[in-house]
Each structure stands twice: as structure tokens, then as C-alpha cells.
Amino acid sequence: MASGVITELGGPLSHAALVAREYGVPAVVNVAGATVALRTGERVRLDGGRGTVERLEPAAPWLTG
């Protein structure tokens, strides 16, 4: 279950953005380096309207590989 969507590629009409909108979850698309910068278990706040992603806290050490 996802509370939001962050992708490295795409735009406002991309499949990820359309599906997120359909399910009512925020999405920020076209975020360069997202898969390198973010790790499993990290908490982030994203604002789909402004297109911002904010890291809330470091990932728990047992969740980062």
C-alpha cells in the first residue's frame, strides 16, 4: 500500500501520475536521482501540488541494505 508516488521519469500525463490521481494519492514525477537518494524505510513528505519531496528522518538502520 502506498501513501504517495515518487518517480524519476514522467510528467503530469504519465501512467504513474494518472493512476495516483485516480486513487487519490499525491504524486511527484520526474525527480532526478530519486531511486539513488531514497532508501527503503525512509519517511518522506511529498506535495503533489507544489512538486516537492522532503526527507523527514533517516532510514532505520535495519531497513537499509
CA 63 to chain centre: 17
Per annotation, catalytic residue among 8, 15, 43, 55 = 15
- Quick check: is 7 catalytic? no
Rounded Cα distance between 61 and 49, Å, is 31
Rounded Cα distance between 53 and 51, Å, is 7
**What are the residue numbers of the active site?**
15
